[in-house]
């Protein structure tokens, strides 16, 4: 189990890590999700031992790793643009960690073959690094990281530079590979879909702090604040006032007991239901095809714009009625 306790790190005046704590049980995968500059990479580098924290501790199985150098930690780190060694071929890269661990040449050869097979690059041993495609380089980097069977696998935006379709395919493969290897994984990304696909748990970071640490389902159900909700892509957000057993958005009120005063209300896609008997009337102003559903922009009579999920295409100018499903309504604290 990895334990991170109160990690803080400053670079001159910028705060890279601010009192970050969490536990990662062996065999689980946690995604660290956040916009660029939120301290994700620094977190990985500190855990790897490449940087020293200003304060706080990194522990493995309750043993403090302070003073244990990066090369003695047996943690794997896959770098953002792979950092493959240009002067070595694929086998030389994948077998590097094994050589450092003092494996025999024969054993290295066998293990390299085995790992390359796992990542789908069987027979690539003699290839030069410079002739690999983006997807192949990514797989070689992954193979190099997992070959020495590190106690912890860390990945820094491993799919960052690949195109959309390749990412969707690879993220599923990655999950399968980690499951097969029973790895403990820390996966850094800025893409929430990637995080939800691969992780048992998602930790959201902002400005060096851990904002929320939850399962993907819980995160979706109950984002901790408007930063997390915005980052998850919930676009229907309104200022509101709570009190007297309800929350008043001005154009509609939602029942519920919340601390009185100003707050923020987020309507998740499943909160707005198209219903001929609904209380809100609106007019469609545009619609987007999303494969298995449509997303329409509608304007209510009271002049509020909403994004609504619809099973069929809605045409501009079409009138419709909506109701609110309280299960999809999130009431979040007003930011300070």
Partner 1 sequence: MTAGRVGKVALVGLPLGFLTVFYLYPVASILFTGLYEDGSFDFSPFGDVLSSSSLRGVAWFTFWQAMVSTVLTVLAAMPIAYVFARFEFRGKRVLSALLIVPFVMPTVVVASAFVALLGRSSPLGIDLNRTIWIIFAAHVFYNVAVVVRTVGGLWAHLDPRLEAAARTLGATRWQAFRTVTLPLLRPALTAATSIVFLFTFTSFGVVLILGGLTYSTLEVEIYRQTLFFLNLPLAGALAIVQLVGVSLILWIYARYQRRRRVAASLVAASQVARPPTTTRQRAAVAATVGYLGVLVVAPLAILVARSFGGGNGGFGFYRALTETSSSTASVSAAEAIGNSLWIAAVATLIALVVGMAAAAVVAYSTGRAAAGFDLLLMLPLGTSAVTIGFGMLVALDWPIDLRANVLLIPLAHALVAIPFVVRISVPVMRSVRSELRDAAAVLGASPARVWREIDVPIAARALAVSAGFAFAISLGEFGATSFIARPDTPTLPIAIFRLLGRPGTLNFGQAMAMSTILMAVTAGVVLLTDRLRVRDVGEF
Which residues of this chain interact with partner 1, rule CB under 8 A? 45, 48-50, 69-77, 79, 81, 83, 85-87, 96-97, 100-101, 144, 148
**CB of 95 vs partner 1, minimal distance in Å:** 10
**CB of 308 vs partner 1, minimal distance in Å:** 40
**CB of 84 vs partner 1, minimal distance in Å:** 8
62 - beta bridge partners? Answer: none
Which has the closest alpha carbon to 267: 331, 207, 212? 331
Nearer to partner 1, 72 or 107 (CB): 72
Nearer to partner 1, 75 or 234 (CB): 75
Nearer to partner 1, 100 or 319 (CB): 100
**CB of 124 vs partner 1, minimal distance in Å:** 19
Nearer to partner 1, 39 or 76 (CB): 76
Tell me the three-class secondary structure of the chain, residue by residue.
CEEEEEEEEEECCEEEEEEEEEEECCCCEEEEECCCCCCHHHHHHHHHCCCCCCEEEEEECCEECCCCCHHHCCEEEECCCCCCCCCCCHHHHHCHHHHHCCCCHHHHHHHHHHHHHHCCCCCCCCCCHHHCCHHHHHHHHHHHHHCCCCCEEEEECCCCCCCHHHHHHHHHHHHHHHHHHCCCEEEEECCHHHHHHHCCEEEEEECCEEEEEECHHHHHHCCCCHHHHHHCCCCCEEEEEEECCEEECCCCEEECCCCCEEEEEEECHHHEEECCCCCEEEEEEEEEECCCCEEEEEEECCCCEEEEEECCCCCCCCEEEEEECHHHEEEEECCC
**CB of 47 vs partner 1, minimal distance in Å:** 10
Distance CA 221, CA 215 (A): 10
Nearer to partner 1, 181 or 331 (CB): 181
**CB of 149 vs partner 1, minimal distance in Å:** 12
Nearer to partner 1, 116 or 296 (CB): 116
**CB of 307 vs partner 1, minimal distance in Å:** 35
Residues near 270 by beta carbon (within 8 Å), at least 6 away in sequence? 309, 325, 327, 328
Nearer to partner 1, 100 or 222 (CB): 100
Nearer to partner 1, 152 or 274 (CB): 152
77 - beta bridge partners? Answer: 154
Nearer to partner 1, 66 or 100 (CB): 100
**CB of 148 vs partner 1, minimal distance in Å:** 7
Distance CA 12, CA 179 (A): 40
**CB of 30 vs partner 1, minimal distance in Å:** 19
């Amino acid at each position: 189990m990895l334990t991170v306790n109160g990690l803080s790190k400053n670079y001159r005046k910028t705060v890279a890590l601010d009192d970050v704590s969490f536990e990662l049980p062996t065999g689980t995968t946690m995604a660290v999700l956040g916009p660029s500059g939120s301290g994700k990479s620094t977190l990985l580098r500190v855990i790897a031992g490449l940087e020293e924290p200003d304060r706080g501790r990194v522990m493995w199985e309750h043993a403090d790793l302070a003073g244990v150098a990066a090369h003695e930690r047996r943690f794997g780190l896959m770098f953002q643009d792979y950092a493959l060694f240009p002067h070595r071929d694929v086998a030389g890269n994948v077998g590097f960690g094994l050589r450092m661990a003092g494996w025999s040449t024969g054993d290295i050869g066998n293990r390299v073959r085995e790992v390359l097979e796992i990542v789908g690059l069987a027979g690539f041993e003699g290839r030069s690094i410079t002739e690999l495609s983006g997807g192949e380089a990514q797989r070689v980097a992954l193979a190099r990281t997992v070959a020495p069977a590190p106690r912890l696998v860390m990945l820094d935006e491993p799919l960052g530079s690949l195109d959309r379709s390749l990412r969707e395919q690879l993220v599923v493969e990655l999950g399968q590979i980690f499951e097969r290897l029973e790895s403990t994984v820390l996966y850094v990304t800025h893409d929430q879909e990637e995080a939800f696909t691969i992780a048992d748990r998602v930790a959201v970071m902002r400005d060096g702090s851990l904002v929320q640490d939850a399962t993907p389902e819980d995160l979706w159900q109950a984002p901790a604040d408007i930063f997390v909700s915005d980052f998850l892509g919930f676009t229907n957000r309104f200022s509101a006032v709570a009190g007297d057993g309800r929350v008043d958005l001005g154009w509609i009120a939602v029942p519920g007991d919340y601390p009185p005063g100003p707050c923020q209300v987020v309507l998740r896609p499943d909160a707005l239901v198209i219903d001929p008997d609904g209380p809100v009337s609106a007019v469609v102003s545009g619609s987007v095809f999303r494969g298995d559903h449509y997303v329409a922009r509608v304007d209510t009579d009271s002049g509020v714009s909403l994004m609504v999920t619809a099973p069929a295409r809605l045409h501009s100018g079409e009138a419709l009625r909506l109701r609110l499903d309280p299960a999809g309504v999130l009431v979040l604290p007003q930011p300070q």
